Chain A
């Protein structure tokens, strides 16, 4: 871990195969983002394995203070990633939970070493595309103006800041306009949004206003929690801006 608490990933050799950890929100609400993520990896000639036994990184319970329950769910995941391949996650938040918090969660447990080994193989999708696969995209879509919302855990736990924007900037017809408060939390915060709905609403309200000010047609994000919150608020307020997961956006642009 680096001095500011974010993880620094040592570069690794390009693997033949990777595991894909879909996350529970992608599973239920954004499966097309998950499929797009796997397609992007396959496009690069990497074999993708999706273990059907996987469910959730355990973050909801962990953050709510129910660590025993979180441990049970996290432990259940360990069996499904037996190989040495990297585990790619289309969510900075879940990737952060697995790589940064699992070692704490399993501390003193008999399977601590195994959990740490799994945690050390976790990559956020855009981080993996840029740092390991060194992808080069060719844009096949029409001109469009978009903006990027940085998820809190991707930037502050996984240390993913430039990677997604670097990918978006590879797209020749895409104009990327930065938010004035790009780094500010959208107010989702898992159970926070239902525990403190009014504060959460005020936060996402500021985020929506910021997005509208850019004049972008779409807001791209790498986290389905943020996306559900932000695009829900955009839709709820009848704003003509679409929220889209970066995997899906990249796939749309590169597959025409």
Chain B
């Protein structure tokens, strides 16, 4: 996955030209930010629950190997079959082998970011299996043959009109309407038929509880419940970091998750899946499989600082509050996980060679850090990855791959000048004299002056003024 290097600058430039897209994102994110603020209006409560949420995730990560073993043992005891995949290819192969054993032709899917990471739909299609997204947003994106642009609201980049056109174009029985209720109803009718005939249901996992072997799944539309109970086989896919220790760890995390994500105090459905259908039960699948994916995560886990990335509960609040994401939208990141968390997760999972540009898609304003419900030091990790990108090492895949001789020379020259008072004062005095003569067409200055006036060097530096005014030096 992600063999080729992405071009964030080019993709974001295209996004910025699209006024409709920019408007859609600005409006949607403004709405989400203000609604979330209402949910956490009580600062003391926010600080309390946030500290609790962070501690749940930290505790889980501090004993991750042990908890994963416990999870496997308890799931197995409950009749859930556990599979381990170190790469996305392995995870795909596991899913396929289960499908082939039950001769599956149609899969319905609940929302799962790990399955996006696996590019599972494309993989299944290649093997002649139809895979249908049943989350409304994912369904829309799938009809549009696009990627999700947000981890919680996959089709947030589109407005009603665009969706109305898409439905008319792609769904046979569709009449053109911009009525949201009618559009939703149409999708529901298409999906209902598929739920009834699907051979396998696939879902993600919001949290897996080690002590009980329970898979916890949060959703609003009921499609997750349908996907996990109607087809005879249910396959859940999760990243190995999604485990929590105890059942009592679940409520605080859900409370933070739903309020941070969509500003809902709670979602419509919280599914706690603990076993396949037992004798005498009226519904539920005959088989449940849990595929636990590594895909670079154990490498991230091994580094104490980078490990904090794995705290993430996938609420998407960092995107909603990121001024860069808000401008360019999710597709510009060309990754299953966009925005701030994607910018630190993707380079660690796929390597800095191809994803090294993402940690620079950030002004380091810290809005994401301020909002993260589990206190991930996103910007610190961003800085660490920027540093890894230019220094050869083995902590992150592809470390050193972005070291450019020219850039290194610039910073070496900068540090030599700025570390020597004499050189610094000579250079700044020279800039004060001659700096303003620099033509606006110079490379870096040209980009700056496209929308801004040229910065004006003062005639005399602060050092010079302070000397002239007799401000004591020591």
Chain A residues packing against B (C-beta within 8 Å): 3-5, 20, 22, 24, 26-32, 34-35, 38, 47-56, 58, 60-70, 72-73, 75-76, 104, 152-153, 156-157, 183-185, 187-190, 192-206, 228-229, 232-233, 235-237
Segment touching A, from B91-99, B283-291, B454-462:
B454-462
Q: How far is B460's CA from A202's CA once the two chains are assembled, in angstroms?
A: 33
Q: Which residue of A lies closest to B43 (CB)?
A: A4
B contact face: mostly helix, strand, loop, or mixed: helix
Complex interface: chain A residues within 8 A of B259 (CB): none
- B50, A3: Cβ atoms under 8 Å? yes
CA A155 to CA B465, docked complex, whole Å = 29
Given A28-B432, A35-B465, A235-B453, A61:B369 Cβ within 8 A: no
Closest B residue, CB atoms, query A200? B363
State A52–B420 Cα separation when bound (angstroms). Answer: 11
CB distance B370 to A27 under 8 Å? no
Is the CB–CB distance between A202 and B16 below 8 Å? yes
Interface SS of chain A: helix, strand, loop or mixed?
helix
The residue of chain A having its C-beta at the shortest distance from the C-beta of B412 within the complex is A69
Q: Which residues of A contact B451 (CB under 8 A)?
A: 201, 204-205, 233, 236-237
Asked if A199 contacts B360 (CB within 8 A), the reply is no
B42 to A: closest C-beta gap in Å = 15
Residue from B408, B418, B447 within 8 A of A55 (CB atoms): B418
- Shortest CB distance B123–A (Å): 33
Contact digits for B413-449, partner A, Cβ 8 Å, 1 yes 0 no: 0111011110011001001100100000000100111
Q: A52-B473, A229-B452 given as contacts; is B364 within 8 A of A26 (CB)?
A: no
Chain B residues whose CB sits within 8 angstroms of the CB of A70 once the complex forms: 415
Q: B472, A5: Cβ atoms under 8 Å?
A: no
Smallest distance from the beta carbon of A104 to chain B beta carbons, Å? Answer: 8
Known: A29-B456, A63-B383, A72-B419. A22 touches B375 (CB 8 A): no
Which residues 11-56 of B sit at the A interface, judged by CB distance below 8 A?
12-13, 16, 22, 26, 47, 50-51
Do the beta carbons of A73 and B415 come within 8 Å of each other? yes
Residues of chain B within 8 A (CB-CB) of A193 are 447-448
Query: Chain B contacts of A58 at CB under 8 A?
Result: 418
B466 closest partner in A (C-beta): A50
Q: Are B361 and A50 in contact (CB under 8 A)?
A: no
Give 7 closest A-B pairs by Cβ, nearest first. A189-B363, A232-B452, A65-B386, A197-B447, A185-B365, A69-B415, A152-B365
**Is the CB–CB distance between B387 and A185 below 8 Å?**
no
Q: Which residues of A sit under 8 angstroms from B77, Cβ to Cβ?
A: none
- Smallest CB–CB gap between B357 and chain A, Å? 9
**Interface presence of B366 (CB below 8 A):** yes
A63 to B387, CA, bound (A): 8
Q: Is B9 an interface residue (CB 8 A)?
A: yes
Contact B360 A204 (CB under 8 A): no
Closest partner residue, chain B, to A152 (CB atom): B365
Question: B385: which A residues are within 8 A, CB to CB?
Answer: 65
User: B181 interface residue, CB < 8 Å from A?
Assistant: no
**Cβ-neighbour of B367 out of A76, A183, A195 (below 8 A):** A183
| B406 interface residue per 8 A CB criterion | no
Contacts of A22 in B (CB 8 A): 462-463, 466
Chain B window 254-286, contacts with chain A (Cβ cutoff 8 Å), 1 for yes, 0 for no: 000000000000000000000000000000000
A-binding segment of B105-113, B148-156, B311-319, B321-329: B321-329
